Amino acid sequence: MTKLSSITGLSNIARSEGDPKVLHSGPSSRGVPDSLARGLGWFSLGLGLTELLAPGRITRALGMEGKEALVRVYGAREIGSGILSLSVDKKLGLWSRVAGDGLDIATVMTALRPDNPKRDNVVIALALLLGITAVDLIDAQATTMRHSRSAGRRKSYRDRSGFPRGVAASRGAARDFKTPPDLRHAPALAAVSQRPSVA
């Protein structure tokens, strides 16, 4: 007996009485880049909420007091990137994360001034940002390649008519058409179908 996941169990509850039940689900078609994009999306949401709700803690830790409004704006950007990364349009979300990482690095680098007593924290934050940027960049490229159409030569179907036996063999093919009994309730449609065909 296969153990059902909670999602599969919920889907069975939502089904109508006569619908077949899901016994087990097959392997996921989601690849490693998609799973990583999902994780990065949730990370963005968590980081964005932290930046929105507690910008003072971040600025104090980095010696960047007075930049709380900017941290809140970056938090809103992170939430937007996270939502996109969790959506069908995950490529756009991941590339927006890469762009946001560049902004974050540029902003945090301004705190590397010699008179900042929290320079050690700034160095650690920059190292973390560079690592996250590398992961974001690798996943954005992998996801883009995975979900892009191949750039090969397009197939041409100009020589096909849509009629397997040719257009001439199709002319007059419906001459002996009889109106089915279930079309009696639609007399206008039946009248149209019984008109003599023009060959």
pLDDT of residue 1: 38
Query: Is residue 179 situated within a structural domain?
Result: no
* Residue 137 falls inside a structural domain: yes
Residue 142 lies in a domain: yes
Mean pLDDT, residues 173-199: 64
Is residue 81 pLDDT above 80, yes or no?
yes
Predicted TM-score of the model (pTM): 0.59
Query: Which helix (H) or strand (E) segment is 122 a member of?
Result: helix 119-147
pLDDT of residue 101: 93
- Tell me, yes or no, whether 63 lies in a domain: yes
Dihedral sign, CA of 161, 163, 169, 170?
negative
Q: Is residue 175 part of a domain?
A: no
Q: What is the mean pLDDT of the chain?
A: 81
Angle 68-86/32-53 helices, nearest 10 degrees? 150
Contact 108, 147 (CB under 8 A): no
Residue 14, in any domain of the structure: no
Assigned domain for 8 exists: no
Instruction: Name every residue whose Cβ is closer than 8 Å to that of residue 128 and which is 6 or more positions away in sequence.
Output: none
Nearest C-alpha neighbor of 34 from the set 79, 86, 109, 104: 86
CA distances to 143, 174, 191, 196 from 184, in Å: 54, 19, 10, 19
Cβ atoms of 86 and 141 within 8 Å: the answer is no
- 44-64 pLDDT, tens digit each: 999 999 999 999 999 999 999
User: Residue 62 belongs to what domain range?
Assistant: 31-147
* Residue percentage of the chain with pLDDT more than 70: 76
CA distance 37 to 53: 24
The pLDDT tens digits of the residues spanning 83-125 come to 988 888 888 889 999 999 999 999 999 999 889 999 999 999 9
